[in-house]
């Protein structure tokens, strides 16, 4: 008798597409990068202020496609910050190095500093109020390597078996910076940062505040355990849930060029920065927009 096998996800929600474009936009062209997640946006200069109509179209495209890609956008740190502020209040990261202004994080990798962001995660999920979105600008990129991948965690939720959905509905997980940034701190520094940023408890399945989609909201790097479960059961369940981000049908992969920009919804996606380019140089700048408490 043949044993049951899991052959991968069955068909899931896909983006609408007509003649290579997502329909319904007047001011911008939105070209889907995959059937499920991601789109390249044409017809906008991110150095210029957004009028109301253009802002609404970009916001709608972000909610619909979850990650937007822009090519040939030689923006300054100040212009990147100004663009981000159209979408909400911007955070200052307490651990990562700043660029020209405190709100702009600078990731500078070379033969002395290797990339360490190659693990699936959602930015600052360890905050009581995590981010709404992040905007990443490529300053300098290697000739080969250094791609970034995003996973649609609403699609990941859709793809779960019904019995697993029922099992995790209503569960909560603890998100903690100590498993990543905390490893670089002395015991005294860790204690001080823990006072400022205590572990946060968020739903394992959150509901997107704008689209109403259910989203699988646990990640490998920041989640320590599921509340109320024994350690072994929690670890086993987290491993199964976190593995959903690695399913290719839920992903988009982006090849960076100088002055490419990616803008993603941190509530509904996770991302993974491929660290295959060492010792080549890669310089990126990121702004992160504050969101709302997950529910």
Enumerate the active-site residues. Answer: 121, 123, 271, 286
**CA separation for the pair 269, 156 (Å, rounded):** 10
For 10-49, give one letter per residue: b (16+ CB within 10 A) or e. eebeebeeeeebbeebeebebebbbebbbbbbeebebeee
Helix (H, G, I), strand (E, B) or coil at 213: coil
Phi and psi at 176, nearest 5°, equal -145, 125
Q: Please list, residue by residue across 72-90, b when 16 or more beta carbons sit within 10 angstroms of its beta carbon and e when fewer do.
A: ebebebebbbbbbeebeeb
Alpha carbons 41 and 110: distance in angstroms, whole number: 30
DSSP lists the bridge partners of residue 131 as 290
- With a CB cutoff of 8 Å and minimum separation 6, the contacts of 291 are 88, 129, 130, 131, 132, 133, 266, 267
For 243-290, the DSSP string reads: GGGG-GGGEEEE---TT-EEEEETTTEEEEE----TTS-EEEEEEEEE
- Helix, strand, coil % over all residues of the chain, rounded to 5: 25, 25, 50
């Amino acid at each position: 008798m043949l044993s049951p096998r899991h052959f991968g996800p069955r068909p899931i929600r896909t983006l609408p597409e007509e003649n290579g474009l997502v329909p319904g936009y007047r001011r911008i062209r939105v070209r889907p990068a995959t059937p499920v997640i991601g789109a390249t946006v044409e017809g906008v200069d991110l150095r210029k202020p957004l009028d109301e109509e253009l802002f609404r179209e970009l916001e709608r495209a972000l909610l619909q496609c979850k990650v937007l890609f822009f090519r040939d956008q030689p923006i300054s740190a100040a212009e990147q910050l100004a663009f981000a502020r159209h979408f909400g209040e911007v955070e200052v990261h307490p651990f990562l190095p700043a660029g020209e202004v405190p709100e702009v994080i600078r990731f500078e990798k070379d033969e002395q500093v290797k990339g360490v962001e190659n693990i699936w995660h959602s930015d600052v999920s360890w905050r009581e109020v995590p981010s709404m979105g992040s905007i990443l600008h490529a300053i300098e990129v290697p000739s080969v390597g250094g791609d970034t991948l995003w996973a649609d965690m609403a699609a990941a939720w859709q793809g779960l078996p019904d019995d697993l959905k029922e099992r995790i509905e209503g569960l909560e997980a603890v998100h903690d910076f100590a498993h990543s940034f905390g490893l670089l701190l002395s015991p005294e520094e860790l204690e001080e940062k823990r006072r400022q940023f205590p572990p946060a408890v968020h739903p394992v399945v959150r509901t997107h505040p704008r689209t109403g989609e259910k989203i699988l909201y646990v990640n490998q790097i920041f989640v320590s355990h599921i509340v109320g479960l024994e350690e072994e059961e929690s670890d086993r369940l987290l491993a199964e849930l976190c593995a959903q981000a690695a399913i290719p049908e839920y992903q988009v992969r982006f090849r960076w060029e100088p002055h490419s920009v990616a803008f993603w919804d941190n509530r509904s996606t996770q991302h993974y920065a491929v660290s295959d380019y060492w010792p080549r140089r890669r310089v990126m700048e990121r702004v992160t927009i504050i969101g709302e408490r997950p529910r």
